[in-house]
Amino acid sequence: MPHDRIHHWIHAIYPPQDARWLEDAVRARVRTFQARHPLQRPPRPLGQLLTYQDAILITYGDQFQQPGQPHLRTLAQFLDAHLRQVMDGVHILPFFPYSSDDGFSVIDYKQVDPALGDWDDIWRLEQRGYRLMFDAVINHISRQSRWFQGFLRGEAPYRDYFIVVDPHTDLAQVVRPRALPLLTPVETAEGVKYVWTTFSEDQIDLNYANPRVALEIIDVLLFYVEKGAQIIRLDAIAYLWKEIGTSCIHLPQTHAMVKLWRAILDETAPDVLLITETNVPHQENISYFGDYLPETGKTDEAQLVYNFTLAPLTLHAFLSGDATKLARWAATLTAPAGATFFNFIASHDGIGVRPAEGILSTQEMQALVDRTLAHGGQVGYKANPDGSRSVYELNITLYDFLNDAARPDPSVDVPRFLASQSILLALAGVPGIYVHSLFGSRNCDACYRATGRARSLNREKFDLATLEALLADPHSHQSQVFAGYRHMLAVRREHPAFHPLAQQRILELHPAVFAVERLAPDGSERILCLTNVSAQPQTLALPPGRWRDLLGEVAAHSGQITLPGYGVAWLRG
């Protein structure tokens, strides 16, 4: 029962006196929440909470802009006009007041950035029927936050909200996602102190060893539920707990904390889903599903995890014209009962390459780097314990990785890009679609020059009128990509074989063709999704049966099929 799990995980994390205090405080928060929001129905299994019609747009709150209107209202306007019939979910990247990193250095967890709008604008999106994903950026907080300013002044309770370390401490074992100093000196009322900063000097890590910090964050999570969050994204969660003398990544206390949050949500809002964001090798990533609990038929940690390995393997497939490594990895994908993957190929961050470690060779990894640099992108690095650095992410739009902006050819570029998205949409799980993928956005060199940050290449914002003019022009590649993407999404949401929990089977029909067969949970249909990752036409034998192409690009077939270069077919048997 969630009640028992709350007790168990609090006492697993904290010493007895702290645990008793925190448990009493959490119980009080739970009772207050339940009094305000009594459950209207019994908890539902994940197979009912998610459907084959689910697809989630990843977007900034100010992605679409027009004069004289709050950005969140412009976002709602674009969604209603162009995506209501094909997408039901929206992940609004951090929409809180912030000081850096395009929102990921949060000043106040409980306020909407006034430049975007207010909580009423968030509420209106929910009322329009969109499933909302909120970011919980809770590994760290802005140095401009009230909490950190209180720490600088030496005020209770904030003086213990952050991690202070002697700069002479040996921290060589700490796994770093950035090639930046781990400790940042700050001037406080008590002199200079060195605080832990995993990501930047403006993003100060929180001290979860202090149970008061844990309670603050539980308040934040319950507040997000009250404000309409149906999915809560745990940003950078792998680094949450610090223990000097360890790697400070994936520590048992981190997993225990996520399990505690899951138990609290199961007690108060069981239909709200947790999703973990951990840009790490695959086996480490899927550890955040947690343990399967037979008595509940669910896992006890995140219901969804970001499928980070999909992006670099998809890029490798198109770069090499060979889907073999992608297919053999995909054949191993299994989520425990009551959980599934959040599939994505592009996001607001760079394309992480660490998740492909052990799958792609050093030479294949370097080929991804070389293509990124040749096509106008940048490369981000992480620091290693031995003082060296290694590639962490590729900073480039997905469209420009696949297609050379110096030699554009929409007749090839658009099909190649849409073929990459076919792989994303075909796999079991919930598809997460970065807004720039809808339009085949190019690198924003002006954005990069303005900020000096490589990730800005992939974070351009749109003037709504300018974008809609491009979408209205059938000759623009943006219009062609958008039309093709909408078509795939519309077809996908008509077929239960694409349910996130539906069975899938990876078929090796041809090295250049990624083939995945999906079977509806009730057995009513099977769909074979074929994607040619090469520029050459490919003829391949089909499994027995009479097949009809749902996308309408290839006629019905039996026996064999020929896919054009970068051709896609979704065949219903």
pLDDT tens-place values along the chain, 573 residues long: 788 999 999 999 999 999 999 999 999 999 999 999 999 888 899 999 999 999 999 999 999 999 999 999 999 999 999 999 999 999 999 999 999 999 999 999 999 999 999 999 999 999 999 999 999 999 999 999 999 999 999 999 999 999 999 999 999 999 988 888 999 999 999 999 999 999 999 999 999 999 999 999 999 999 999 999 999 999 999 999 999 999 999 999 999 999 999 999 999 999 999 999 999 999 999 999 999 998 888 899 999 999 999 999 999 999 999 999 999 999 999 999 999 999 999 999 999 999 999 999 999 999 999 999 999 999 998 878 777 888 899 999 999 999 999 999 999 999 999 999 999 999 999 999 999 999 999 999 999 999 999 999 999 999 999 999 999 999 999 999 999 999 999 999 999 999 999 999 999 999 999 999 999 999 999 999 999 999 999 999 998 888 899 998 666 667 889 999 999 999 998
Helices in 379-430 by DSSP H: which ranges? Answer: 398-402, 410-426
Question: N- to C-terminal Cα distance for the chain?
Answer: 43
Sign, Cα dihedral of 376, 366, 350, 132: positive
118 included as an active-site residue: no
- The DSSP code for 335 is P
Contact 421, 437 (CB under 8 A): yes
Contact 464, 77 (CB under 8 A): yes
pLDDT of residue 554: 63
Residues 6+ apart with CB under 8 A from 409: 403
Question: pTM for this structure?
Answer: 0.97
Domains, the chain, in order of start with CATH, read: 56-134+209-498 (3.20.20.80), 503-572 (2.60.40.1180)
Residues 318, 221: Cα–Cα separation, whole Å: 40
Residues 6+ apart with CB under 8 A from 130: 79, 88, 89, 90
Question: In 10 A of CB 14, how many CB atoms?
Answer: 21
What type of residue is 514? F
Closest Cα to residue 85, out of 479, 552, 497, 490? 490
- Chain mean position to CA 22: 30
Residues 340, 330: Cα–Cα separation, whole Å: 14
Question: In 10 A of CB 476, how many CB atoms?
Answer: 16
DSSP string, 350-382: -EE-GGGBTTB-HHHHHHHHHHHHHTT-EEEEE
Q: Which of 113, 121, 235, 413 is catalytic?
A: 235
Contact 183, 176 (CB under 8 A): no
